[in-house]
Amino acid sequence: MRVIRELFRHGSGRIGALIIVVYLVLALLGAVGLTPHNALQQLPISRLKPPSLSFWTGTDLLGRDTFSRLMLGIGQSFVVAFASVAAATVAGTIIGLLAAWWGHLWDGVLMRLMDVLLAFPAILLALLIIAVVGPGTSTSIAAIAIVYTPIFARVVRGPALSLKQRDFVDAARTFGSSQGYILTRHLLLNLVAPLTVQVTLALAWALLTEAGLSFLGLGVQPPAPSLGVMLADSKNLMQHAPWLMLFPGLTVMLGILGFNLTGDALRDILDPRTEQRKA
Amino acid sequence: MSTLLDVRDLKVSFGSGATATEVLHGVSFALSAGETLAIVGESGSGKSVTALSINRLVDFGGGHITGGSIGFTRADGTALDLAAADERTMTAVRGRDIGMIFQEPMTSLNPVMTVGQQIAEAFRLGRGMSGGAATAEAKRALDRVRIPDAARRLANYPHQLSGGMRQRVMIAMALASNPRLLIADEPTTALDVTVQAQIMALLAELRAEMNMALIFITHDIGLVAGIADRIMVMQRGVAVEQGETGTVLDRPQHDYTKHLLNAVPHFANGSATRTDERPGRPAPIVSVSDLVVRFPIRVQWFQKAGSVHAVDGVDFDLVAGETLAIVGESGSGKSTTARAILGLVKATRGKIDARAGRSRRPIQMVFQDPYASLNPRLNVEALLAEPAIANGQRVDAALRDRMRRLLARVGLGEDALGRYAHQFSGGQRQRLCVARALMLNPDVVVLDEAVSALDVSVQAQVLELLVDLQREFSLSYLFISHDMAVVERIAHRIAVMYAGRIVEIGGAAAVLSTPQHSYTQRLIAAVPSVARRRQTFTLDATPVPSLVRPAGYEPPPARWREVGADHFVREETAA
């Protein structure tokens, strides 16, 4: 709670958090059907209308309201981004913690495995996974989760290695504390701050990757709205209806900006040095 | 004598605007050429800030001078106010007129440059010498700080040198430009006591050789007794007392000076050991026999090149209610012994028998650094609950009651339970660690340099607490320390460790007053104190033998000589 309060006091963090809140509200309204128009209904009389009071961001080739579609698209992107980052965080944290804690051979095997995953460009690895399993929302989630797992494993392993050497871990051993207790209370609890920052930044990347995958037609399948699909559809109409490209593009950009600003602000707020000073 | 430095009403603040805090509230002192001033105080007293203000390094730490003047006479006789000088002037002053050495020589040296390059750099920048001449000067500089085999040492990297050697390299660099003032900020605090004595002797000799003024900053008033002409005592940003060394030490005027002189445990050659009776040596509660800890060194993957013999055949008994102190310098194996007893490192060989005690874990430990040994993300209640949880107890009202009683017993209030470690001072944290170690009602507490990181007055209080707790809970202590004066206050028996072995063991008074082994004698001779300030230290550079042994090496069996009732000394061999 204190972190959220400080986030809204932080200059750029406030902007980032505000963007995310607005996106969340739009996505929720979209999810419960409170869109200005029906996002899927095709109205032949209002095809390719530029932005106006009734169609805030214009309509597409099939006469669908793009603002309503953007709202659903944001929801779609958020579902994929949050689910994949959550999965990557859990998997990466477990792998990183165990590699650091067991050390030696385990550390070598687990981290080299992560290195193999890291060696592929993210989008290429995701393409590979989708090529094997087939496109769809759950495949996108799984693919992005696998791509980001090594990053979390690395973010966790480094600090965990140094925490493992700290006196309070030795002290815990002298009491006879169980490994599970040491791993959760002494290691994981001290990793919450760097993980929070990493999660926020990873959300930005996941958002972009999701848009990229659906742009290539490998994510959500039409007619379900998605930011990437909307961008892909707009590319042949760029000269006649530039709003078709402008608004989905801006939506993706602002979303990434929101997460990045929040991540940077959290890094400032959760930095132990600034935290010490305030206490 | 001409005045070299004249500091008047110096005020320094950190931060800016509303958050600015003044840390020096008007400090004045003067220093003549060739004179030595010791600035003594505890952490937070402003002693380092005072010194860093003189060469204006304080500017880089977020501080700024808000008032007063620092008059400095330069080599050409011109006067300069350092408080008002611009950065360019200061760069020249730092390079030529004022040298500085810091507490931690490892972090002050660049790890990827050889010491020769670094010293030569000081000559190039300070005196504008060119490559070849600077290198030749660097060698001469190493000779001057008495580093044996200087030509070869020039090619070494900092990590290849011992702590004492590194500090000498720092001194050589600081002296490169023949400064007229040398500022030494706790230069021996990170060093062993015998090395400290060497560095002190070196500084005293160099000061006379070069007719250089010296400002020596320390928390240890006993240390400067032998070297300082004048002493300034600081507390909370104010100089509370200053004067001739003899006057300040023998007739202190200010209460804080008196307190500091009383709080510092003065080493008294074994005449101030504990006199509370020891039980008539019943069966030992912990018995260590032939403990060996070796760390293998691998050259390549599976090929062992030998091992570091950290602990090599250590035997001792610890009796209920008694304090056994293990003294020795860094690398002597005293901490490794403690960690092996607690199972934190695996013993290569040997037996550690602990009699079944009052709880399932009869041996507990308090670590040196109270900042590192408490998890910063847990509150006191969670910290104290951990040992109980680990041993299957439930966190209930009875356990919380026990926490409160223990906290009260170590001098912390009940409100401490909800607070976090960073909200306590160093001394309070160490009290917290003691309370945590007592949660399981142990029989033995291993105290690994438990008071070394504390300020002297806090140290005295914690020592007192430890003695009281020992009586109250009939605890045995294994007290690991490098500080002979502290050991004298708390130990019943003393074991002296050197290069992984115990070389002398016996009753505290006997070991300290009539040391038999040559190393014990060296160690005791090196302890600085107010009472011994008129003794002179001689440079003794006996190197510590290497602990690295080839694979399969076994040390020759120890032969012990009994020199008195309960006082044994290991016979010295050539090895």
> Which token pair is B454?
């504390």
Residues 6-35 of B with CB under 8 A from A: none
Nearest to A176 among B375, B391, B433 (CB): B391
Q: How much is the pLDDT for A277? A: 46
The span from the CA of A230 to the CA of A68, in Å, is 12
| Inter-residue contact B421 to B374 (CB < 8 Å) | yes
Q: Do A190 and B386 touch (CB under 8 A)?
A: no
Query: Å from B19 to nearest chain A CA?
Result: 11
What pLDDT, on the 0 to 100 scale, is given for residue B575?
A: 45
Residues from chain A that touch B378, judged by Cβ atoms under 8 A, are 185, 189
| B366-to-A167, B432, B438, B460 alpha-carbon distances in Å | 10, 10, 10, 17
* Residue type, position A198, single letter: Q
Taking an 8 Å cut-off on Cβ atoms, the answer to whether B386 and A178 are in contact is no
Digitized pLDDT (tens) for each residue of chain B, 575 residues in all: 578 888 888 888 887 766 778 888 888 888 888 888 889 888 778 888 888 888 888 888 778 888 888 888 877 777 888 888 888 888 888 878 888 888 877 778 888 888 888 888 888 887 777 878 888 888 888 887 777 777 888 888 887 777 778 888 888 888 887 888 888 888 887 777 777 877 788 888 888 888 888 898 888 877 887 788 888 999 888 888 888 888 888 888 888 888 888 777 777 777 777 777 665 667 788 889 889 988 877 666 666 677 888 888 899 999 888 899 999 887 788 888 999 999 888 888 888 888 877 778 889 999 988 888 999 888 899 999 999 998 888 888 889 999 999 999 998 887 888 888 888 888 889 999 999 999 988 999 999 988 887 887 788 889 999 999 998 988 999 999 988 888 988 999 999 998 888 999 998 888 988 888 888 888 888 777 666 555 555 555 555 666 777 777 777 777 888 887 788 888 876 54
- Interface size, chain A vs chain B, as Cβ–Cβ contacts under 8 Å: 70
Q: Chain A residue with minimal CA distance to B387?
A: A175
Which candidate from B342, B372, B422 shows the least CB-CB separation from A174? B342
Helix H segments across B361-396? 380-390
Alpha carbons B138 and B142: distance in angstroms, whole number: 6
Put simply, the answer to whether A272 touches B390 (Cβ < 8 Å) is: no
Chain A positions touching B478 (Cβ under 8 A) are: none
Helices (DSSP H) in A134-271: which residue ranges? Answer: 137-164, 167-175, 179-181, 189-215, 227-234, 243-270
- For CA atoms B401, B407, B408, B414, the dihedral sign is negative
Placement of tokens 């009732």 in the chain: B565
**What Å distances lie between residue A97 and A65, A90, B224, CA to CA?**
48, 11, 49
Residues B335-367, buried b or exposed e (16+ Cβ, 10 A)?
bbbbbbbbebbebbebebebeebeeebbbbbbb
CA distances from B126 to A6, A202, B96, B101, B153 (A): 48, 50, 6, 16, 22
How far, in Å, CA of A14 to CA of A20, rounded? Answer: 10
Q: Which of B378, B420, B433 sits opposite A185 (nearest CB)?
A: B378
Phi, psi of A254 (to 5 degrees): -65, -40
* Angle B509-B513-B516 from CA coordinates, rounded to 5°: 110
Instruction: Give A171→chain B minimum CA distance, Å.
Output: 7
Pick B364's closest partner by Cβ from A174, A189, A272: A174
CB within 8 Å: B375 and A167: no
DSSP A171: H
ipTM above 0.85, yes or no: no
| Nearest chain B alpha carbon to A279 | B423
Residue of B nearest to A162 (CA): B372
Contacts of A170 in chain B (CB under 8 A): 339, 344, 365, 367, 373
Element (DSSP H or E) covering residue B549: strand B548-549
Could B390 and A171 be called an inter-chain contact, meaning their C-beta atoms sit closer than 8 Å? no
**Cα distance from B329 to chain A (closest Cα, Å)?**
20
pLDDT, chain A, mean: 87
Confidence class for position A85, pLDDT limits 50, 70, 90 = very high
B395 touches chain A (CB under 8 A): no
